[in-house]
Every structure is written in structure tokens, then in C-alpha cells.
């Protein structure tokens, strides 16, 4: 009887100590390093969620690389939507602060991106809620940099496994870049 009590107490102690190790480490990992997200919607077609596929794409979002809020043109990033702070959207970065952009359907035809902001657009123009609707996005809203696609898409010959292939992206609407001197 006494042995059962001590065994039960031992299990409880082990559970509590394991809990207080596992939960903070997992939460810190998901907040600071990387997390996996499912992409829903058609705004990044044909790159993500191409037509004809029944299941949604899964991406790995790298939070460590955006810890200083530095992104590159052509990156696929996940940001908090400026219209709805509970919603996360995944789009491509077209321009950084200081760049001049020719817009598609925004209230101004040409926009100079202010400091601390960047311009995002979905690949599927017309079916995308992006900077053409709500304007430049604050750098702090960025959540993660998309770096790897889920395993299911690796067999697709048109898609490279790593999402950071910026050379394939033609940024047609970038009029002039802002070079850091």
C-alpha cells in the first residue's frame, strides 16, 4: 500500500517535471525557430495549391530567418493580415522599403513603399487579397519565411523542393530598387 503511494507520487513528480520541460521548449521552438502550416486558398496558384489537387499544400515556415524582420524580394512569407489580426496569409514579397512599385488595382497607380514596410502579392492576380487591396504591410507583421514544401509535392517536376528559388521569379512590377549604400 505504501509502495503504491510512493510509486504514484513518483509518477506524478515525473509527469510534472516532464510537463514543465516539454511545454516551454515546444512553445519556444514554434515561436522562434520554425513551424508547419497548411496553405488554403487559390491566391498563390500555380505555385502553391495548384488546380486539380484535392489536398492543401503544407509548408515549413522558418521563423529564425525573419527574427530581424529582414526579407528578400521574391520570398514567400506568412504575415498577419492587416485587415484581420487573427488571420495569417501567405504571399510573395515584391518590393522592400524605398522601392517604387507599379500596382494592380490599388488606389494609386505608382507607390513608393515607406520605411519599415514591404509589398506583398499573390501569384494568382485577381484572386488574391494582398497589398493591392490594403497597401504596404508593416515589417513587424511578418511571421515566417516559407522554405520547404511538404513531401507530397516533391514528385512534381515543376516545383523545386526549396521555396527560396528567387531567380525564377520575374518581378515585373518593380520599377526601381532601393540599394543600401
Partner 1 sequence: MLRRMLGKTLGFVGYTIQYGCIAHCAFEYIGEFVVCSGPSMEPTIVNHDVVFSERMSRHLCRIEKGDIVIAKSPFDPNMNICKRVIGMEGDKICTSAPSDLFKTHTYVPKGHVWLEGDNLKNSSDSRSYGPVPYALIRGRVCLKVINRNFSFFIFAKLDKPVWFKSLLHGFELWSSACA
Q: Which residues bind partner 1 (CB under 8 A)?
A: 20-21, 23-25, 27-28, 31-32, 68-69, 80-86, 114-117, 138-141
| Catalytic entry in 78, 91, 128, 139 | 91
- At which residue does the C-alpha cell 511545454 appear? 23
Give Cα 110 to chain centroid, integer Å: 26
Q: What minimum distance in Å lies between the beta carbon of 79 and partner 1?
A: 9
Name 69's Cβ contacts closer than 8 Å, sequence gap at least 6: 139, 140, 142
Residue 109 burial by Cβ neighbours in a 10 Å radius (0-12, 13-18, 19+)? exposed
Copy the grid coordinates of residue 32.
522562434
| Catalytic entry in 43, 78, 128, 139 | 43
CB closer to partner 1 out of 41 and 82: 82
Beta strand ranges found along the chain (DSSP E) = 34-38, 58-62, 76-80, 88-95, 100-102, 110-112, 117-121, 137-138, 142-149, 174-176
CB closer to partner 1 out of 6 and 68: 68
CB of 100 within 8 A of CB of 112? yes
CB closer to partner 1 out of 82 and 164: 82
Active site residue 91: yes
Active site residue 165: no
Task: Give all strands of the β-sheet with 100-102 in edge-to-edge order.
Answer: 110-112, 100-102, 174-176
Q: What minimum distance in Å lies between the beta carbon of 131 and partner 1?
A: 13
Q: What minimum distance in Å lies between the beta carbon of 17 and partner 1?
A: 10
Q: What minimum distance in Å lies between the beta carbon of 108 and partner 1?
A: 15
Copy the grid coordinates of residue 112.
513608393
- At which residue does the C-alpha cell 488546380 appear? 51
CB closer to partner 1 out of 76 and 113: 113
The set of catalytic residues is 43, 91
Amino acid at each position: 500500500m505504501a509502495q503504491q503511494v510512493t510509486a504514484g507520487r513518483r509518477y506524478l513528480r515525473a509527469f510534472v517535471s516532464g510537463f514543465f520541460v516539454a511545454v516551454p521548449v515546444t512553445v519556444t521552438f514554434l515561436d522562434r525557430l520554425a513551424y508547419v502550416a497548411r496553405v488554403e486558398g487559390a491566391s498563390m496558384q500555380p505555385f502553391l495549391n495548384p488546380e486539380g489537387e484535392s489536398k492543401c499544400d503544407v509548408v515549413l515556415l522558418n521563423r529564425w530567418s525573419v527574427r530581424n524582420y529582414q526579407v528578400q524580394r521574391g520570398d514567400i512569407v506568412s504575415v498577419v493580415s492587416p485587415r484581420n489580426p487573427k488571420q495569417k496569409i501567405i504571399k510573395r514579397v515584391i518590393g522592400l522599403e524605398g522601392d517604387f512599385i507599379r500596382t494592380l488595382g490599388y488606389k494609386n497607380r505608382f507607390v513608393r513603399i515607406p520605411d519599415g514596410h514591404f509589398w506583398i502579392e499573390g501569384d494568382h492576380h485577381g484572386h488574391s487579397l494582398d497589398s493591392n487591396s490594403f497597401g504596404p504591410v508593416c515589417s513587424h507583421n511578418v511571421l515566417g519565411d516559407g522554405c520547404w514544401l511538404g513531401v507530397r509535392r516533391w514528385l512534381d517536376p515543376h516545383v523545386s523542393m526549396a521555396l527560396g528559388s528567387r531567380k525564377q521569379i520575374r518581378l515585373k512590377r518593380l520599377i526601381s530598387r532601393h540599394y543600401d549604400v
